[in-house]
Structures are given as structure tokens and as C-alpha cells.
Structure 1
Amino acid sequence: MNSVGEIWTWGANSHGQLGLDVTSEQIEKPTKVARETFDDIKHIACGGAHSLLLDSNGKLFSCGWNSKKQLGHKTEVYTFSRIWELSGINFINIACGWDFSCGVTDDNFLFVWGSNSHGQLGLPKHHFGDCIAPFRLQVNVCAISMGLRHTAMINSKGEVWTTGCGRHGQLGLGEDITSSDRFQRVPKLTKISHIACGQNHTVGWSSEEKALYVWGDNKHGQLLLSSQEYRKIFVPQKIDINIKKDVKKLLSGWTNVLLWLQDGSLLTWGRNNKAQLGTDAAFTGKIFNIKLPDNRSIEDVALGSEHTICLATDKTLWAWGWNEHANTGLPCTEEVIHCPTQVKLETNLKINFIFAGGATNFVITDNQKECN
């Protein structure tokens, strides 16, 4: 996923996590980011108040909050700055938790850094402490996700391994293991193709089985089980949601989950107090099929903690959910955007890629081709 062009960003910016060389409570409309030091953009990951950028040459850059060394820098920086401690290493993937970060190398090793307060980096606390500079783990990683205080990864065998806080069951290791400071294999899970961490839950998808697996906090029905009967799930439960299509993306916000299917369908469920599900419906435990206006088809989708942005195939941009910090790019006079609403950029350049996390967003446009 390479892209040439401009970066536009908006949302919370309390620690300069938008890369605009300024700190502010929020950036209320899509604003262009100056870019000088990196090449084409492959991926942007967003944490609680920090951001990572991976360019097409495998180099890493970061900006924002640095209280736990989550930037890989010695101090906070407010523009995307090269993580020189990781120079000379070719990265292919990145992820952020609340105040911790990781990068996956081209030989599928994992580097972790930032907060290890709950063992979420997979490093023994008695030896490494709470704040970690970039450190390489001898693990095989094909996919990885980070939540509030836990991490889950998939290896080349399709096994799931987790580490960190498990008080709500989000590690999937059983009621007797409510924390871990090293990666442990989640029993009985094989052939998992997609993984996503929420605030205190984890969800996985098996493309081979066409099956959803869920574990962790279920207070808001984010695991599709009765929240009265199943408040916490400590071992993975297989949920039959009758999906026969391939899955393009499995994503999670703090307390909501989204499946983007090969046929273009967007299925979502979980908490809806901030219209995270793109509907006014107040109840939980039900799957909603989100539709863009005029039956537009979907090209990409990205989730923040409690908001969603979505790119249609006609290159229009849509958003819904929590809007307290102008997270959606729409006027912050409305704290909640209840249904998919179009977001305007002050450019006629075509949008290629979108990224979101926390209360922040990044959009990459194409310099070479204008919209019709």
C-alpha cells in the first residue's frame, strides 16, 4: 500500500500527534501536513496521543506524546521525525497501543517500545522495567494489534499469541492468567487470519473457517454475546455470524467491532453511545450493516477509538461517531455524528488512503490525478 502525495490530518492534537509542528486541543478541519523527510507512505498507526509512520523504504517516523518512550525518541516531537535508533532495519508493518508501539521487520521479527506497565510489550517487567527503548523480540509475526494495555499477534502458523493485561479476559488464556509479561499462545486457536484488539477485548477471524472468535470484556455487547450473562470471556468463543464472504478487514475501536467483507459490506456491532455504529439505535448485541448514501461502494475504512472514517470508490470521504475533538472532520458543534456524513477536503486531489486511531485521522491524496 504505497501512496504518493499530500497528507491531510485532523482531530485531537494535545501532544502534537498530527505532525503539524504545533500542539492544540484539536484541529477542527482537514489540514495539510508539511512533508520533507520521508518517501511514499505505506502506513500510519495512531496511539492514544502519538503517531507512527512507515514509508515505502521501510523507515519509521513518529510524533506526539512520549511519556513512556513510545515515540522511540528521547523527547516529544511535533513533526514526523525519523526513529534513528531503528535505522538500517527494513520494516513492513507498524501498530500502536495507548502508550506503546511496535514495528514488524521484513524477516517477520518484532520490535517493541514504550510502556510495559502491564507486560504489554512481552518483556519481563522485573528485568526490563516499565518504559522500554526499542527492543527486538525473537518471535515470528504475520499480523499484530495493540489495545489499551495488551497486545495480540498471529504467527505464520495462524496461531494467536497475547501478552499484557488480562483482567477482563482479553488475553484469552483462561481465568487463572489475568496478566502476562511475555507472549503466550492462546490455546485451541489455529488458522486465524485477522486479529484486532479493543480497549479490553480481542477478536479474531479465521478465513478458512469463515468464523469469528471473541474474548475479553463484553460489557457493551462487543463480543456478540449477552452482556448480562457473559460480562467477561476468558477463553475464545467461536461465534457463528453466518458470513460466507471473505473478510478484507477486521477492525476494533475501544468497544465496537467492524468487519469489511469482500463484497463491500460493512458489518458493525458493540457499544453505540457515540454513534460508533453509524446508527441511532441505542441497543447492543446486534449486527448492523452500514450503508453509505446513494449506495456508494466502499474502497477503504478506518476506525478510531469511537469514530469511523470511510473512503468510497468515488473518492468521497465519510465519517461518523464521536466528534468531541472534531474527530470526524465535521463541525465540533455536534459532539456526535449519528450517520455517515461527507467530509470535505480543501483540495481537488484524489484521496488514495485513509488511517485513523484514537481521536485522530490521516488521509493521503494523489498529487498526479485530480478528481472529476
Structure 2
Amino acid sequence: MGSSIVSPDIVDFTDVRTSTHTQASKGGIGIITEAKAQCFKEAFASKGYFTITKKLDNTLWSFGQNSSGQLGDGSTVNKNNQVKIGNSTDWAKIAVGESHVCAIKTDGSLWAWGNNNAQQLGDSNYIYSAIPVRIGNDYNWKSISVGLNFTIAIKTDGSLWAWGDNNYGQLGNGAYYIKKKYPTQIGTSTNWSNVSAGARHCLAIKTDGSLWAWGYNLSGQLGNGTNTTQLFPIQIGTSNSWKSISAGDSHSVAIGLDSSLWVWGDNSNGQLGTQYGFSALNFPYQLTSAVSWAVVSAGLYHTVAIKADGTLWAWGKNTYGQVGDGTTLNKQTPTQIGSESNWLSVSAGSYHTCAIKQTNTLWSWGWNILGQLGDSTNINRNIPNPVNCIGMCFPTTSTYTQVSCDSFYWSKKNKWYYSSNVTDTIKLINSKGCDSIITLNLTIYITTHNITKKTAYGNFRWKKTNYNTSGTYTYSYINNAGCACVDTLKLVVNPYNGCSKQLSAGVAHSLLIKNEGTLWSWGYNSDGQLGLSTFNSEFTPKQVDTLKNWAIVSAGGRHNLAIKNNGTLWSWGRAYEGQLGNGSFTNKISPTQIDNSTTWSYVSSGNNHSSAIKKDGSLWIWGSNLDGQLGIGDNLDRNLP
């Protein structure tokens, strides 16, 4: 998985539903990204060290730790590759805990497997099960959530049920320590809509949108403004606008109907994302002013979320790379993971995370010592890593994008192409015996040798370079297809008709460069913008200094920018908004060099901001940014380029 260098004619499309291949250049070397994971519907990272997935055919698969049979494959052997759980194809709802799993089938029946040391399976004994076992005889189970050693579920009539460990009142039945060996109803309400079990506490939403919590509360994870454990469900606040919830080890997260994101509870590892140190909160706190959150999942000590635009974000403990940002440093604020905008669902486990994209591809990252990432290794990953789909064969569709010079030969069809913007397809048979349809998107660039003839006065700028003498000049470059191209300029430079080489007017002052390269100024001088080492206004042109090496000048509101013949950049005048670019906000009454670079080629001064271009074509900006005029995504002033 990932990107690899291959020949486009030997791509293996086994188990691939969609694949993309991009090649640019002559010489047959390309980059291919194969998505061999496009068969996953849901994935659940446990608060232990294993993962359960559901594929598009509604079969269940598992990998990771298996000491209590939680993988459901009939053994207690850890697996770092995917194993199928039975042969059923009618699984509907899945919930994973630290070491046990509960699931509901499409017929509404309830099943469980894994650790049973606290009777969390609900089958009235303490014996673990390495395969799914039926719990009771009811067919009206609607949704389910699994905690550390207990289970919470909702029936189709809206009633709430719990069983397993109860040392912290997490079963919500008004008692401590008394376990329940089979599903037991909590209260008499029949309007429960959604429930989420944390390590030792629970969150739930009723059909009226109200939020409820109970169980352990040492870190304020219930959100009722106290740190007192609650034995019965209690309403949190008065709002009736809660949409979804997720309970972590000792922290809680939720999304409102307006797509706002709320956090509370333990913050010892930055899992609340509040950026205000590591203080716990015992009440729901809106994390950001943004109301664009779609999915959120609370892990052991980290949190992962998806915005409405499909981007992925994470924060909190990152010791094993479970945040997924390419580091192992904890994150105290939401951090975007990659740049993709097609994430569909995400599940935060103990020290690992798994997510599914809109393309039904499965990705996992974080700790992998027991194979919980499912990539057939035990190597930790600190960025999302694709997981291959096995056990299913789909017809493949792939796109092969080719950019070439002048012509292209596609060996799969034994065909030459000479025109650009071509789309062609070929149908093959992949190694699973399924159709493999490959689409070629071809762009052909023609090698160019352009000749330009120009007549100029004094100076002519071409290809980011200034020319002040007549002659023939060439510019060599590689175009988008990797083709070697040469452009030619035939230039005739005539002398200026007057004495001035360049003139620039500010708000109330003017600047002039004469042919011999001297710099002159006149007009208003409140901030030293004339560069004459005074604040006196001048009514006639005054020479700024005795040098004759000034090339380009631009007058702003009350400041100026200039470039000398040697490519150095200079500024003077007003600096209150950082527009001089010298790292300070102090006015300068004479030209001051900005940095040591000698590759500046063009400048432009605004009212209170500045911009410049280097010979490599890069754009640099600084100064006032009150109205976003710097174009860098915020409104903060900058005093350096």
C-alpha cells in the first residue's frame, strides 16, 4: 500500500476496486497509489489492543490481541492479519470494549464474545468465549455500546439495559459493586435514543435531544459540574440539542445538533483539545466556535474527529503515533491529519486509531505491538496506513493518468497517441478472475521553441530577469511533461527619451530613479518616507544618497521599497504595521537593507503592507494584515517577509 515506483504495465490489481496511477515524464517511471482496501463498511478500535471491522458484505473480521478470545475466531492467539469471525453475513451493529465484543444482527438478536471476568457478555457465567454466543432470546435489540468490563444497550422500544461490572455505578441501577450477569433494564424510561460506554461511565441521549450521564466521575467526565460518582442516569444541563456522544476512558465528547463540538472530563494528555494546559473540566465546554463537526470518537487518552468537509482531526496523547500527524508528540489542540477531505468514519482506541474513507478504504495507525493495525506487521505507524482488503473479490476500476511529450505509446493496447486530452479504456481480467477496467487519461505536451521579438526603452523584463541592453537571449526550461524547451528573446533596447528611469507616487510623496541610477524624493515626510535622514517635507526633488545603483523603487502610503542593481532589498519610512520588513516596528528615515538576499527582482508597496518577488518566482509579503491583504489565511501583521 502507499506510493511505490512501478511500471504501468505490471500493476497488480488483485482485490482492487479503484486504483489511480499517475506518470509524468519520458522514460517510463511513474507513481502508483493502489487502494487495496475498498471493501470496508465500519471499523472499531478497541480500548484494548484489537480491532473489529465489518465489510461491505456484512461479514466481521478482526485482528490484534486475542488473549480472551476477543477476535472471535475460535482461538486465543494474537493476529496481526485479518481473520474472519464465523460465516455470518447479517451483522448490523458492533461494539468493542477492552477485551470483549458485543454485536446485533439484522434480525435484532444479541451476540457477544471475549473476556467475561465480570459477566460482561451477559450469558450468566464467568467463562470467556472465543466465538460469538447468542445472549438471550430477544429479537428487539437496537443499539449497543461496550465499556471496560460492562455493556449497555437500547432495545427497539427505547428501553435501556446494562450488565457486567458495576464497581463504579456504571450500570446505572442505583448500586455499587453488584454485577449483573444478564441484561437488566435501567429504570422505566422508553425514550432512550443513543448510548456510549466509557471505561467506567456512560453517556446517553434521549429522543428529545437531552443529555444524560452516570457512573464514575473522578475527572468530571459526567459533565454535571461535580466530581461525584452517580449511580443513576442524571440529566446534564437543560439543552435538548445533542446529536451524538462518545465516552472515552475518563473524558467525554459530544456534537450538538448545530454541529458544534463539546468536551469535558480528564485532560491530563490534552485529550480535550482546549489548549489551556491540562486542566480537567466537569462541564461541557465548546471546543471551537466552528459548527462544522460531523463525527467524533474519544479514545483512551486521545480524541479523533471528522468535520463536515470530510477532513480528519486529532489531538491528545500521541506516544505511539495514535494522533496520526507523523510525530509522537502530544497535541493539545485539534490538528488536521493529512490534507484529504474524504474521511467517512473514525474510531479511537487505547493507543491506536482506525478510520474509513468515503471510498470504503480502511486506514489504521498508532501502536501495533499486538497487530491491532491489521497490516500483517507489528510496526507502529504515526500516519494513517492503508489496510488491504482480503477475502473478497471485486471488479476493478482504475485510472491511469499519463503526461507525455509529443506522443505516447500504451503497451496494454499496443497503440500510439499523438493528440492531447485523450481518454481511452481497456478491459482485462485481474488475478481474482474479475474484470479489470483501466481508463487512460492522457495529456500530451508539444515541445516548444518560441521566439519573441521586442523593442524596449531603457529596460525590458522577461522570464523574471531585467535586460537593459540589446541582444538575443534564451530561456531553457522543462515543461509539465518533462519536455526540454527553449524560448528565445530578440531584444532591441533604445535609450530613454528623458532623464528618468522609473517614477513612483505614494499618498503624498514621490520617488524617482534617474538613468544613471540615482534616487530622488520629494513631498510629505511625516515618517521619514523621503529617506533624507530628516522629517522635513520637501517641495522639490532631493537626492536620497550619492549612490548610483538603484534599479527599482515603489512608493507606498508612508513607506517605500527599493531594489538595487545587486538584487538587494531596501525599505524606509513608516513601520508601525511592520511594512518595512526588517523585524521591527520602528520608522526608518533612510534606506535600510531588509535581509542579506541578493535575488530580489520586483517590489510593490501598498498603503501599509508590502510585497516582493524573488528571481525564483517566489512571492513574499509583510506588513499590515487587518483586512487579510497578506493573503496568508489570518489577519495578523508581519514585520518580516
Q: Same fold (TM over 0.5)?
A: yes
Give the alignment partner of residue 187 of structure 1, picking from 288, 291, 316: 288
What residue in structure 1 maps to residue 181 of structure 2? 78
Does structure 2 retain, via aligned residues, the 8 Å contact 1:116–1:123?
no
The aligned amino acid for 1:212 is: L
Q: Does 1:4 find its partner at 2:4? A: no
Determine which structure has greater relative contact order: mean sequence separation of CA pairs < 8 Å that are 6+ residues apart, divided by chain length.
1
Aligned residues with identical type, % of pairs: 23
The CA deviation at 1:9 is: 1.5
Q: Does 1:236 find its partner at 2:338? A: no
Does structure 2 retain, via aligned residues, the 8 Å contact 1:15–1:49?
yes
The CA deviation at 1:157 is: 1.6
Give the alignment partner of residue 206 of structure 1, picking from 307, 314, 317: 307
What residue in structure 1 maps to residue 162 of structure 2? 62
The answer for unaligned runs of 5 or more in structure 1 is 298-372
What are the within-5 Å matches in structure 2 for residues 1-372 of structure 1? 3-24=106-127, 26-36=128-138, 40-73=140-173, 74=175, 75-84=178-187, 87-125=188-226, 129-137=228-236, 138-139=238-239, 140-208=241-309, 210-228=310-328, 231-243=329-341, 245=342, 247=344, 249-279=345-375, 280-295=377-392
The CA deviation at 1:286 is: 2.9
Secondary structure, counterpart of 2:154 in structure 1: strand
| Residues 211-249 of structure 1, C-alpha deviations (whole Å, 9 max, x = no match) | 111111111111122445xx2211111223424x351x2
The CA deviation at 1:289 is: 1.6
Measured in 2, the distance between the counterparts of 1:116 and 1:148 equals 11
| Residues 222-278 of structure 1, C-alpha deviations (whole Å, 9 max, x = no match) | 1122445xx2211111223424x351x211111111212232211111111111110
Does structure 1 retain, via aligned residues, the 8 Å contact 2:355–2:362?
yes
Cα 1:267–1:241, aligned 2, differ >3 Å: closer, same or farther?
Answer: farther
Does structure 2 retain, via aligned residues, the 8 Å contact 1:117–1:131?
no
Measured in 2, the distance between the counterparts of 1:29 and 1:50 equals 18
Secondary structure, counterpart of 1:158 in structure 2: coil
The aligned amino acid for 1:282 is: I
The CA deviation at 1:7 is: 2.6
TM-score by length of 2: 0.43
| Residues 159-204 of structure 1, C-alpha deviations (whole Å, 9 max, x = no match) | 1111100010001111435201111110244310000011000111
Measured in 1, the distance between the counterparts of 2:111 and 2:189 equals 28
Cα 1:200–1:189, aligned 2, differ >3 Å: closer, same or farther?
Answer: farther
The CA deviation at 1:18 is: 0.5
Q: RMSD across aligned C-alpha pairs, in angstroms? A: 1.9
The CA deviation at 1:288 is: 1.9
Measured in 2, the distance between the counterparts of 1:266 and 1:154 equals 24
The aligned amino acid for 1:108 is: G
- Structure of higher CA gyration radius: 2
Cα 1:240–1:190, aligned 2, differ >3 Å: closer, same or farther?
Answer: farther
Secondary structure, counterpart of 1:287 in structure 2: strand
Measured in 2, the distance between the counterparts of 1:83 and 1:162 equals 26
Does structure 2 retain, via aligned residues, the 8 Å contact 1:3–1:42?
no
Cα 1:108–1:151, aligned 2, differ >3 Å: closer, same or farther?
Answer: same
Cα 1:236–1:189, aligned 2, differ >3 Å: closer, same or farther?
Answer: farther
Deviation beyond 4 Å, 4+ runs, structure 1? none
Does structure 1 retain, via aligned residues, the 8 Å contact 2:320–2:380?
no
Measured in 2, the distance between the counterparts of 1:30 and 1:168 equals 35
Moved more, 132-141 or 69-78: 132-141
Measured in 1, the distance between the counterparts of 2:343 and 2:313 equals 15
TM-score by length of 1: 0.72
Does structure 2 retain, via aligned residues, the 8 Å contact 1:52–1:63?
yes
Count of aligned residue pairs for this structure pair: 285
Does structure 1 retain, via aligned residues, the 8 Å contact 2:212–2:234?
yes
The CA deviation at 1:296 is: 5.1
Measured in 2, the distance between the counterparts of 1:64 and 1:185 equals 33
Measured in 2, the distance between the counterparts of 1:259 and 1:216 equals 17
Cα 1:104–1:296, aligned 2, differ >3 Å: closer, same or farther?
Answer: farther
Cα 1:28–1:151, aligned 2, differ >3 Å: closer, same or farther?
Answer: same
Moved more, 116-125 or 279-288: 279-288
Secondary structure, counterpart of 2:214 in structure 1: strand
Does structure 1 retain, via aligned residues, the 8 Å contact 2:325–2:335?
no
Measured in 1, the distance between the counterparts of 2:226 and 2:282 equals 6
Does structure 2 retain, via aligned residues, the 8 Å contact 1:159–1:185?
yes
Measured in 1, the distance between the counterparts of 2:326 and 2:338 equals 14
Measured in 2, the distance between the counterparts of 1:287 and 1:172 equals 20
Measured in 1, the distance between the counterparts of 2:220 and 2:245 equals 16
